[in-house]
Amino acid sequence: MKILMISDVYFSRVNGVSTSIKTYRDDLRQLGHECTLVAPAYKIPPEVADDQDIVRIDSWQVPFDPEDRLLRWTRLKAWARSIDSRRFDAIHIQTPFTAHYMGVKLARQLNIPTIETYHTYFEHYLHHYVPLLPSSFTKGLARRLSLSQCQDVDHVISPSPQMAQTLRDYGVTKPISILPTGMSAAAFEQGDRDRFRARMNIEPDRPVALYVGRVAHEKNIDFLIRMMQQLKQIVPNALLVVAGEGPAQSHIERLVKTMGLQDHVRFVGYLDRAHGLLDCYRSADVFVFASRTETQGLVILEALAQGTPVVSTAVMGTADVMAGVQGGIIVPEQELEFAQAVAMVLQNKCHRDGLSSHAVQDALRWSSQDLAKKLVGLYESL
């Protein structure tokens, strides 16, 4: 098959959508299918190597969120005119911005089906980026926009049953398939714990909790910082490593300083996925997560793939990921209870090793190639 994917985000912008696109594209190509991706042009660092089927389009910077981009409509239209004679079997839209509207327009122009993945829970996301508007208004706007866009396409993909039900509650009547992003073989390559700790000047025996992801308001990192205030009472030398960057960085750094946690929280920024990030996951004694807005929770699976135990809440997509997990612990969003669960993992090596021994098997249930085959079946059914 020949698939055209279109997205307002891709590497070098690091997030779950970029990871999902790359994982599926890699597997689709290994299965013998062609997959052209249209994505924004960024300053591309040397470690990001585009293949010949990636088309980069000039993009605008998004207000309130300097990391993100919107494809320039005029440049996108100019590119679209060049593909009139090319044949695609389907268009797969990955983001609800410029990419959505151009994807729908192109599909009608080429008379081919459209499919869209609903990656982001915008109802609980939008108000963080337009804070001058009441949250009740932004939630309503997000619901109406999500409904309208889902009704625009032939088929919707939801990464989790919880998100699919939310879309149904919005009034979406188009077919919805549940198809999460899987773990590629590369995610299971063993990271180097000692190398990361030496690089970051972290003592070999210091108890380390880890958060990986965007440093964004909707990720509920504030809760993890407040939890650290409780954790340090139980495990005085505990350290929380935050791997990622984002629009809430200065806010989180101020909160750490206000709470006097500078010696207990370390920001390490974005890490190279091929090596640095795997080392980071492997270096931690426990992975912690409390986001309320995940449509899946890929970072939980990435941690499990490195044998790192997980302590997490179970909300939206993370509830699906954590269901049946033996390498992790589900706890409510309550600071002391969460801290006690983390402390138990950090202080009890036998318990920690038991969780770790199950973690990789938990992640193996999410084979990316098996999920890519299901995606091909979905394309063929349109």
CATH topology of domain 185-364: Rossmann fold (3.40.50)
Structure tokens at 311: 């302590």
Q: Which residue has tokens 């079946």?
A: 377
Q: What is the DSSP letter of 68?
A: E
Q: How many helices and strands, by DSSP H and E, does the chain display?
A: 14, 15
pTM of the model: 0.88
CA dihedral sign, ordered 153, 158, 163, 164: positive
Cα-based torsion angle of the residue sequence 310, 315, 317, 321 in order, rounded to the nearest 10 degrees: 30
Report d(CA 168, CA 100) in Å as an integer. Answer: 20
Domain ranges of the chain: 2-182+368-381, 185-364
- The long-range contacts involving 146-149, CB below 8 angstroms and separated by at least 24 positions, are 146/96, 146/118, 146/122, 146/170, 146/172, 147/171, 147/172, 149/96, 149/100, 149/116
Q: What is the CATH number of domain 2-182+368-381?
A: 3.40.50.2000
Q: What is the DSSP letter of 73?
A: H
Report d(CA 255, CA 224) in Å as an integer. Answer: 11
pLDDT by 10s per residue, the chain, length 382: 999 999 999 998 888 899 999 999 999 999 999 999 999 998 766 556 799 999 999 998 877 666 778 899 999 999 998 886 578 999 999 999 999 999 999 999 999 999 999 998 888 766 655 666 677 777 888 899 999 999 999 999 999 999 999 999 999 999 999 999 999 999 999 999 999 999 999 999 999 999 999 999 989 999 999 999 999 999 999 999 999 999 999 999 999 999 999 999 999 999 988 779 999 999 999 999 999 989 899 999 999 999 999 999 999 999 999 999 999 999 999 999 999 999 999 999 999 999 999 999 999 999 999 999 999 999 999 9
Q: Which residue has tokens 């505990």?
A: 238
64: left (phi over 0), alpha (psi -120 to 50) or beta: left
Structure tokens at 132: 């001058």
Structure tokens at 352: 């920690």
- The long-range contacts involving 28-32, CB below 8 angstroms and separated by at least 24 positions, are 28/3, 28/372, 28/375, 28/376, 30/369, 30/372, 31/369, 31/372, 31/373, 31/376
Domains 2-182+368-381 and 185-364 share a fold: yes
